[in-house]
Amino acid sequence: MSSQLMPIPEEFFAFENGQPFTHCQICNKPLLTGNSDYFIEKVIRNYPGQGVQDVVYEYAVCWHCAEENSQRMSEESLQNIQAYFNAQMAFLYQVQEYQQRWPEISNPLPDHCLVTGQSKADLDEYMIYGHFRGDQMVRSTMPYLFSGQVLDELGECLSEKTRDELDDFRDKYFGGPPELEELWKSRRPVFF
Ligand SMILES: [Zn+2]
């Protein structure tokens, strides 16, 4: 049986220094030593054909903080998001395929948006999300890639209450470079 773990792909390294994330963004717990589970979410601004990228925001959050923060979402928001994904047949199919085939997949990170199918190289903006343990990626959990369009649609699933909560939260713990403020102010962390 194949190992559930693999080295962390460089795409999930911190943009700032090109190294793996070392601490939980919220509680500051060290992530690389030991066996604790954590998640990384990054939104990349891409300039197709120019070979340059910016990061809109990026963070690593430990399992415990992720669990606590999912409770910030209102019932209504959670139901809307669930309904959104339940209607994405291509996405559901790829998740199912991945669950059956992950031991054979050597490069798990999708090269296209899992909802719209657009190639990563053609997207102005996209988000990647993955599950990690210590200095490894948990490859039995499918890493996601979503286009900016999907992030917008997910944003529309959120109730006003959840939006306010997430905005406060974002302002407290996150924050991108000032020159990209317009971008990251329009984005909320999605997955925890
Ligand atoms: Zn934490």
Task: For 156-190, write each residue's pLDDT tens digit.
Answer: 898 888 888 888 877 777 765 555 565 555 565 55
What is the pTM for the complete model shown? Answer: 0.89
Assigned domain for 130 exists: yes
Q: Is residue 93 part of a domain?
A: yes
Q: What is the DSSP string of 62-104?
A: EHHHHHHHHTTS-HHHHHHHHHHHHT-HHHHHHHHHHHHHGGG
CA of 91 to the centre of ligand 1 (A): 29
Write the Ramachandran bin of 117: left for phi over 0, alpha for psi from -120 to 50, otherwise beta: left
pLDDT recorded at residue 1: 46
- Tell me if 165 is assigned to some domain: yes
pLDDT at position 11 over 70: yes
* Distance from the alpha carbon of residue 131 to the mean position of ligand 1, in angstroms: 14
- What is the CA angle 96-140-38, rounded to 5? 120
pLDDT digits (tens, 9 = 90+) for 38-74: 999 999 998 878 878 888 888 999 999 988 887 878 8
Position 141 in a domain? yes
C-alpha 189 to ligand 1 mean position (Å): 15
Question: Which residue range forms the structural domain that includes residue 148?
Answer: 5-180
Contact 122, 113 (CB under 8 A): no
State the sign of the Cα–Cα–Cα–Cα dihedral 76, 57, 138, 96.
Answer: positive
The residues near 16 (Cβ < 8 Å, ≥ 6 apart) are 55
Q: How many domains does the chain have?
A: 1
Q: Does residue 101 form part of some domain? A: yes
Please state the rounded mean pLDDT for residues 31-36: 91
Domain contains 186: no
Residue 166, in any domain of the structure: yes
Q: Is residue 192 part of a domain?
A: no
Going from the Cα of 22 to the center of ligand 1, the distance in angstroms, rounded, reads 11
- Per-residue model confidence as pLDDT tens digits over 80-134: 989 999 999 999 999 999 999 999 998 999 999 999 999 999 999 999 999 999 9
